[in-house]
């Protein structure tokens, strides 16, 4: 029978989830890593093609190397217990980016449900300081095959600092329209 509280539980997870960029040094229990693997493999994909591959990185030396994939917004990965590298194969699906994005956010939601914190690190279209693609650097570090693109790395670990949930009143209600664009004149253009 359906758990009637399931919607509320998921809403609470969405309220609590914030990007975590500071992590405790402790590792993630292996059973939780197993659950994260299950969660990401349950991602839906267009035409069920599953054009993705996920590299779960816990080796500290590799995490440090990956944290240098781009000059901004990745350094905290060196302190994470886990980096989930989300890769996609464009020869399998023309919408691999959408599929990889869904897998990325589901990894973040699953991490949240397990009491872990996470942050998305954008890799696709990002560059190293010398102008070479961050993806090429990661391909070299992880020995990825040439047919895979890297969309993102999800940094995961126990939060050392957990940002506060954003109050409902601070959400951008003007980004929502009902039925037709002009119906809510009070919301502006």
Ligand X SMILES: Cc1cc2nc3c(=O)[nH]c(=O)nc-3n(C[C@H](O)[C@H](O)[C@H](O)COP(=O)(O)O)c2cc1C
Binding site for ligand X (CB under 6 A): 18-19, 21, 73, 119-122, 163
In whole angstroms, the minimum distance from the beta carbon of 130 to ligand X comes to 18
Local structure of 104: helix, strand or coil: helix
Alpha-carbon distance of 186 to 189, in angstroms, equals: 9
Please say which residue, 13 or 183, places its beta carbon nearer to ligand X. 13
Residue with the shortest CB distance to ligand X: 73
Alpha-carbon distance of 102 to 97, in angstroms, equals: 9
Alpha-carbon distance of 153 to 66, in angstroms, equals: 9
Please say which residue, 29 or 174, places its beta carbon nearer to ligand X. 174
In whole angstroms, the minimum distance from the beta carbon of 29 to ligand X comes to 24
In whole angstroms, the minimum distance from the beta carbon of 125 to ligand X comes to 10
Please say which residue, 23 or 120, places its beta carbon nearer to ligand X. 120
What is each CA distance from 17 to 110, 115, 163, 166, in whole angstroms? 10, 10, 9, 9
In whole angstroms, the minimum distance from the beta carbon of 19 to ligand X comes to 3
Please say which residue, 128 or 184, places its beta carbon nearer to ligand X. 128
Residue 60: CA count within 13 A, CB half-sphere: 4
Alpha-carbon distance of 107 to 132, in angstroms, equals: 28
């Amino acid at each position: 029978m359906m758990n009637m509280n399931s919607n509320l539980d998921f809403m609470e997870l969405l309220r609590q989830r914030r990007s975590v960029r500071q992590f405790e040094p402790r590792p993630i229990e292996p059973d939780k890593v197993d659950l994260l693997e299950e969660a990401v493999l349950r991602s839906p994909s267009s035409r069920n093609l599953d054009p993705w591959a996920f590299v779960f990185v816990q080796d500290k030396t590799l995490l440090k190397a990956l944290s240098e994939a781009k000059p901004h917004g990745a350094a905290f990965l060196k302190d994470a217990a886990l980096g989930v590298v989300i890769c996609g194969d464009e020869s399998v699906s023309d919408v691999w980016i959408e599929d990889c994005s869904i897998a990325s956010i589901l990894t973040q939601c699953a991490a949240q449900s397990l009491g872990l914190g996470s942050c998305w690190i954008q890799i696709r279209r990002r560059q190293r300081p010398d102008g070479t693609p961050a993806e090429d650097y990661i391909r070299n570090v992880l020995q990825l095959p040439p047919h895979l693109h890297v969309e993102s790395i999800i940094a995961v670990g126990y939060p050392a600092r957990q940002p506060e949930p954003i109050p409902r009143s601070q959400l951008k209600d003007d980004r929502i329209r009902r039925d037709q664009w002009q119906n809510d004149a009070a919301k502006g253009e």
